Amino acid sequence: MHVSAIIAAGGRGLRFGAESPKQLLTLGGRPILERSIEAFMSCDVITDVVVALPPDMLPARPAYLAADRARLEVVAGGARRRDSVAHAFARVADRADLVVIHDAARPLVSDALIRRTVAGAARSGAAVAAVGVQDTVKRADAAGIVTATLPRDELRLAQTPQAFRTQVLRDALALEGDATDEATLVERAGHPVLLVEGDPSNLKITTPADLALAEYLLGRPSGVPRLRIGNGYDLHRLVAGRPLVLGGMTIPFEKGLQGHSDADAICHAVTDAVLGAAGAADIGRHFPDTDPAWQGANSLDLLRRAVAVVTGLGFAVGNVDVVVIAERPTLVPHIDQIRENLAGVLGCDVSCVGVKGKTNEGVDSMGAGESIAVHAVALLMGPGAGTTS
């Protein structure tokens, strides 16, 4: 079966706002247009490819559009999308059984999606990749007033590729009028159109935000770190006869925190945040207060052990943020040293450690000076998204 592909790249992409046509912008270090072309050139169900470009781009075409490249032809596009497609269709081989049309601005099209669309058109005469609607869809008038709520189970969002038997597309392009895609013209010509399963990753790049999302999707298999967030909390009573240890520092004060270890509430909260982000239980499971081994233990060392646990799972600490709630003493003179202590154990730069002191405005045990509480958040970075730790 002879299958020709048309890459519609004749537009200027004015909505994107760039100085050059958006199809020439780079995605992952390669032009968007090149990625779209290569997706079809590398698919073994595609026999040849015709690319419709803005006319002024033809004399200075890039190397990947070289005139002597086998199976690839470049033509001048037209004022409208349907004109560009018609110009390209005129160069499609007479022996072509099917013609696949694809927007150059969809550079993440997969080989599987191309094959699925071609197979659908071979069965039914016309096939369009489409995805379901997840949100409730409202129809509104010019004033923004809702006039109807549409049943989303009957709605689909059309993508490209769109594939057609050659005569079906010829019938559609012979019609007058314009349309946003070829399938609409095929419907007007009276031919049934089959919807095949699309791909949410097959996004159309229209705005800079779309390009940023495409960069993420392109790098997701290996280049984008997997981010995990954990929350930690600890509270200890203040009692006489104990040293006050916070963030690995002994702070001069008339009371200290009561606990099995040194009761360092900052280290305990950060430990729970780090372990929680990795899904690695909590501080009580790793260092139970029923175990004599942890009697009077240095909590900075417990945090170091917790970091070793998450490091063994493939994670690294990105940053932590700590809030200490205490009426007294003031932490301001000690915060820089606490940050350095934590950074040294967490294995991150001190700029990635935040520590803040807050009062409880005289409310509850913290406000009465009877206890100190700490909240902590930790961000872990792990293997690339889509992998397991």
- The pLDDT tens digits for 111-135 are 999 999 999 999 999 999 999 998 9
| pLDDT attached to residue 18 | 56
**Domains, the chain, ranges and CATH?**
3-219 (3.90.550.10), 225-384 (3.30.1330.50)
| pLDDT attached to residue 357 | 94
Q: Which residue has the higher pLDDT, 236 or 65?
A: 236
User: What mean pLDDT comes out for the span 4-16?
Assistant: 79
Residue 196 has pLDDT above 80, yes or no: yes
pLDDT tens-digit readout, 314-337:
788 989 999 999 999 999 999 999
What CA–CA distance (Å, rounded) separates 236 from 245? 11
Least confident range from 10-14, 71-75, 101-105, 132-136: namely 10-14
Cα–Cα distances (Å) from 136 to 43, 151, 158, in that order, read 36, 8, 17
| pLDDT attached to residue 316 | 86
Q: Which residue has the higher pLDDT, 61 or 318?
A: 318
Share of residues in the chain with pLDDT > 90 (%): 68
Residue 389 has pLDDT above 70, yes or no: no
Q: What's the mean per-residue pLDDT of the chain?
A: 89
Count of alpha carbons within 13 Å of 15, Cβ hemisphere only? 9
| pLDDT attached to residue 240 | 95
| pLDDT attached to residue 63 | 82
User: What mean pLDDT comes out for the span 289-300?
Assistant: 90
pLDDT tens-digit readout, 160-186:
999 999 999 999 999 988 898 999 999
| pLDDT attached to residue 65 | 85
Most confident of 18-27, 82-91, 204-213, 375-384: 82-91
Residue 57 has pLDDT above 80, yes or no: yes
| pLDDT attached to residue 384 | 44
Q: Do the beta carbons of residue 338 and residue 247 sit within 8 Å? A: yes
23 CB contacts (<8 Å, ≥6 apart)?
9, 11, 13, 31, 32, 33, 36, 104, 105
| pLDDT attached to residue 83 | 92
- 3-state SS string over the chain? CCEEEEEECCCCCHHHCCCCCHHHCEECCEEHHHHHHHHHHCCCCCCEEEEEECHHHCCCCCHHHCCCCCCEEEEECCCCHHHHHHHHHCCCCCCCCEEEEEECCCCCCCHHHHHHHHHHHHHHCEEEEEEECCCCEEEECCCCCEEEEECHHHCEEEEEEEEEEHHHHHHHHCCCCCCCCHHHHHHHCCCCCEEEECCCCCCCCCCHHHHHHHHHHHHCCCCCEEEEEEEEEEEEEEEECCCEEECCEEECCCEEECCCCCCCHHHHHHHHHHHHHCCCCCHHHHCCCCCHHHCCCCHHHHHHHHHHHHHHCCCEEEEEEEEEECCCCCCHHHHHHHHHHHHHHHCCCHHHEEEEEECCCCCHHHHCCCEEEEEEEEEEEEEECCCCC
Residue 386 has pLDDT above 70, yes or no: no
pLDDT tens-digit readout, 343-376:
999 988 899 999 999 999 899 999 899 999 999 9
